[in-house]
Amino acid sequence: MTKEIVRRETKQPLTVRHGAAVVAVGIIGAIIVFWVLSSIVGIIFFFVKLAVVVALIVGVVWLIHRFRR
Protein backbone atom coordinates (compact mmCIF):
# COMPACT_ATOMS: atom_id res chain seq x y z
CA MET A 1 0.00 0.00 0.00
CA THR A 2 1.39 3.35 -0.95
CA LYS A 3 0.48 6.72 0.41
CA GLU A 4 0.39 9.57 -2.00
CA ILE A 5 1.51 12.90 -0.69
CA VAL A 6 -0.27 15.74 -2.39
CA ARG A 7 1.27 19.19 -2.34
CA ARG A 8 -0.96 21.99 -1.14
CA GLU A 9 -1.71 24.35 -3.96
CA THR A 10 -2.69 27.28 -1.76
CA LYS A 11 -0.11 28.88 0.48
CA GLN A 12 -2.57 30.94 2.50
CA PRO A 13 -1.62 31.77 6.07
CA LEU A 14 -3.83 30.94 9.01
CA THR A 15 -6.94 33.09 8.82
CA VAL A 16 -8.36 34.99 11.78
CA ARG A 17 -11.50 32.90 11.64
CA HIS A 18 -9.54 29.63 11.72
CA GLY A 19 -7.34 30.90 14.55
CA ALA A 20 -10.38 31.97 16.56
CA ALA A 21 -11.97 28.56 16.00
CA VAL A 22 -8.82 26.78 17.22
CA VAL A 23 -8.69 29.00 20.33
CA ALA A 24 -12.41 28.45 21.01
CA VAL A 25 -12.09 24.68 20.70
CA GLY A 26 -9.06 24.76 23.01
CA ILE A 27 -10.88 26.80 25.65
CA ILE A 28 -14.00 24.63 25.50
CA GLY A 29 -11.84 21.50 25.71
CA ALA A 30 -9.99 22.88 28.74
CA ILE A 31 -13.29 23.70 30.48
CA ILE A 32 -14.65 20.21 29.80
CA VAL A 33 -11.45 18.55 31.05
CA PHE A 34 -11.47 20.73 34.19
CA TRP A 35 -15.12 19.85 34.84
CA VAL A 36 -14.54 16.10 34.37
CA LEU A 37 -11.44 16.04 36.58
CA SER A 38 -13.10 18.12 39.30
CA SER A 39 -16.08 15.75 39.23
CA ILE A 40 -13.81 12.73 39.63
CA VAL A 41 -11.91 14.40 42.48
CA GLY A 42 -15.21 15.40 44.08
CA ILE A 43 -16.49 11.82 43.97
CA ILE A 44 -13.24 10.52 45.47
CA PHE A 45 -13.34 13.21 48.19
CA PHE A 46 -16.96 12.26 48.97
CA PHE A 47 -16.02 8.62 49.50
CA VAL A 48 -13.03 9.60 51.66
CA LYS A 49 -15.29 11.76 53.84
CA LEU A 50 -17.82 8.94 54.04
CA ALA A 51 -15.12 6.46 55.09
CA VAL A 52 -13.86 8.85 57.79
CA VAL A 53 -17.38 9.37 59.19
CA VAL A 54 -18.04 5.61 59.22
CA ALA A 55 -14.67 4.98 60.90
CA LEU A 56 -15.43 7.59 63.57
CA ILE A 57 -18.85 6.09 64.27
CA VAL A 58 -17.41 2.58 64.47
CA GLY A 59 -14.63 3.85 66.75
CA VAL A 60 -17.08 5.51 69.14
CA VAL A 61 -19.31 2.43 69.24
CA TRP A 62 -16.26 0.24 69.89
CA LEU A 63 -15.07 2.52 72.72
CA ILE A 64 -18.54 2.57 74.32
CA HIS A 65 -18.76 -1.20 74.07
CA ARG A 66 -15.26 -1.64 75.52
CA PHE A 67 -15.85 0.67 78.53
CA ARG A 68 -19.18 -1.00 79.36
CA ARG A 69 -17.47 -4.30 80.21
- In the chain, what are the domain boundaries? 15-69
Give residue 2's pLDDT: 67
Residue 52 confidence (pLDDT): 98
Give the count of beta carbons closer than 10 Å to the beta carbon of residue 55.
10
**pLDDT given at position 67:** 87
The model carries a pTM of 0.59
pLDDT single digits (tens) 8-65: 666 677 788 898 999 999 999 999 999 999 999 999 999 999 999 999 999 999 999 9
Give the C-alpha separation, 66 to 55, whole Å: 16
